[in-house]
Protein backbone atom coordinates (compact mmCIF):
# COMPACT_ATOMS: atom_id res chain seq x y z
CA UNK A 1 0.00 0.00 0.00
CA UNK A 2 2.90 2.34 0.73
CA UNK A 3 4.28 1.75 -2.76
CA UNK A 4 0.93 2.64 -4.33
CA UNK A 5 0.75 5.86 -2.31
CA UNK A 6 4.30 6.79 -3.32
CA UNK A 7 3.60 6.10 -7.00
CA UNK A 8 0.36 8.11 -6.85
CA UNK A 9 2.05 11.04 -5.11
CA UNK A 10 4.92 11.01 -7.63
CA UNK A 11 2.47 10.92 -10.54
CA UNK A 12 0.48 13.85 -9.12
CA UNK A 13 3.57 15.96 -8.51
CA UNK A 14 4.86 15.45 -12.05
CA UNK A 15 1.44 15.94 -13.61
CA UNK A 16 0.63 19.22 -11.90
CA UNK A 17 4.12 20.71 -11.82
CA UNK A 18 4.56 20.59 -15.60
CA UNK A 19 3.64 23.75 -17.45
CA UNK A 20 3.37 24.63 -21.07
CA UNK A 21 6.05 27.18 -22.00
CA UNK A 22 3.28 29.44 -23.33
CA UNK A 23 1.93 29.77 -19.76
CA UNK A 24 4.63 32.23 -18.71
CA UNK A 25 4.80 34.27 -21.93
CA UNK A 26 3.20 37.61 -22.64
CA UNK A 27 4.45 38.26 -26.17
CA UNK A 28 4.82 36.83 -29.66
CA UNK A 29 8.16 35.02 -29.99
CA UNK A 30 9.52 34.14 -33.43
CA UNK A 31 12.64 32.28 -34.44
CA UNK A 32 13.84 31.36 -37.89
CA UNK A 33 15.09 28.10 -39.35
CA UNK A 34 17.52 28.26 -42.22
CA UNK A 35 16.07 25.76 -44.70
CA UNK A 36 18.56 26.69 -47.41
CA UNK A 37 22.09 25.57 -48.22
CA UNK A 38 23.73 28.97 -47.60
CA UNK A 39 24.62 30.75 -44.37
CA UNK A 40 22.34 33.60 -43.33
CA UNK A 41 24.64 36.39 -42.08
CA UNK A 42 21.76 38.71 -41.13
CA UNK A 43 18.01 38.31 -41.32
CA UNK A 44 15.45 41.04 -40.72
CA UNK A 45 11.84 39.97 -40.24
CA UNK A 46 9.12 42.61 -40.43
CA UNK A 47 9.94 45.99 -38.97
CA UNK A 48 11.74 44.52 -35.96
CA UNK A 49 15.04 46.36 -35.49
CA UNK A 50 16.71 43.36 -33.85
CA UNK A 51 18.28 41.02 -36.42
CA UNK A 52 18.86 37.30 -36.48
CA UNK A 53 22.56 36.75 -37.15
CA UNK A 54 24.79 33.93 -38.37
CA UNK A 55 22.20 31.18 -38.90
CA UNK A 56 23.87 28.20 -40.57
CA UNK A 57 22.05 25.90 -43.02
CA UNK A 58 19.66 23.63 -41.12
CA UNK A 59 20.01 25.60 -37.85
CA UNK A 60 17.52 27.55 -35.78
CA UNK A 61 18.02 31.05 -34.40
CA UNK A 62 17.09 32.23 -30.93
CA UNK A 63 13.60 33.62 -30.43
CA UNK A 64 13.02 37.36 -30.79
CA UNK A 65 10.05 39.23 -29.31
CA UNK A 66 7.55 40.95 -31.63
CA UNK A 67 4.85 43.45 -30.75
CA UNK A 68 2.91 42.63 -33.92
CA UNK A 69 3.33 39.68 -36.29
CA UNK A 70 1.45 37.63 -38.87
CA UNK A 71 1.82 34.17 -40.41
CA UNK A 72 3.98 35.74 -43.08
CA UNK A 73 6.16 38.83 -43.12
CA UNK A 74 8.65 40.99 -44.93
CA UNK A 75 11.98 39.12 -44.84
CA UNK A 76 15.40 40.40 -45.85
CA UNK A 77 18.30 37.95 -45.82
CA UNK A 78 21.93 38.96 -46.23
CA UNK A 79 24.36 36.20 -47.16
CA UNK A 80 27.82 37.41 -48.08
CA UNK A 81 27.31 40.09 -50.72
CA UNK A 82 23.88 38.75 -51.75
CA UNK A 83 20.58 40.20 -50.55
CA UNK A 84 17.33 38.19 -50.76
CA UNK A 85 13.92 39.74 -50.08
CA UNK A 86 10.40 38.46 -49.51
CA UNK A 87 8.00 41.40 -49.85
CA UNK A 88 4.34 40.68 -49.04
CA UNK A 89 1.87 42.87 -50.91
CA UNK A 90 -0.51 43.44 -48.01
CA UNK A 91 -1.90 41.90 -44.84
CA UNK A 92 -5.59 42.40 -45.69
CA UNK A 93 -7.63 39.63 -44.09
CA UNK A 94 -4.74 38.43 -41.94
CA UNK A 95 -5.11 38.25 -38.18
CA UNK A 96 -2.35 39.06 -35.72
CA UNK A 97 -0.57 36.13 -34.16
CA UNK A 98 -1.61 35.46 -30.57
CA UNK A 99 0.94 35.25 -27.78
CA UNK A 100 3.12 32.19 -28.24
CA UNK A 101 6.15 30.65 -29.95
CA UNK A 102 6.51 30.40 -33.74
CA UNK A 103 9.09 29.50 -36.38
CA UNK A 104 9.51 30.93 -39.86
CA UNK A 105 11.27 28.30 -41.99
CA UNK A 106 13.13 30.32 -44.61
CA UNK A 107 14.41 28.91 -47.87
CA UNK A 108 15.95 30.36 -51.01
CA UNK A 109 15.34 28.65 -54.34
CA UNK A 110 17.66 28.58 -57.37
CA UNK A 111 16.06 31.75 -58.75
CA UNK A 112 16.89 33.62 -55.51
CA UNK A 113 13.29 33.75 -54.29
CA UNK A 114 12.67 33.55 -50.55
CA UNK A 115 10.18 30.98 -49.29
CA UNK A 116 8.53 31.16 -45.87
CA UNK A 117 6.81 28.27 -44.11
CA UNK A 118 5.00 29.18 -40.88
CA UNK A 119 5.14 26.74 -37.95
CA UNK A 120 3.47 26.91 -34.52
CA UNK A 121 5.94 25.67 -31.91
Residue 111 has pLDDT above 50, yes or no: yes
For residue range 4-55, list pLDDT tens digits in order: 444 444 444 444 444 444 456 789 999 999 999 999 999 999 988 899 999 9
Please name every residue paired with 43 in a beta bridge, in sequence order, or none if there are none.
52, 77
| Cα dihedral 86→88→91→96 (10° resolution) | 0
Q: In order of start, what are the domains of the chain with their CATH numbers? A: 25-120 (2.60.40.2890)
pTM across the whole model: 0.78
d(CA 75, CA 29): 16
d(CA 1, CA 20): 33
Amino acid sequence: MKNFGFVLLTFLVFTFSCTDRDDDVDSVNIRIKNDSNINFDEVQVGTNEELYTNVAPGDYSNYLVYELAYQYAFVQIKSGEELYVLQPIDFVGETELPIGFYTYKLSINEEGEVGLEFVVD
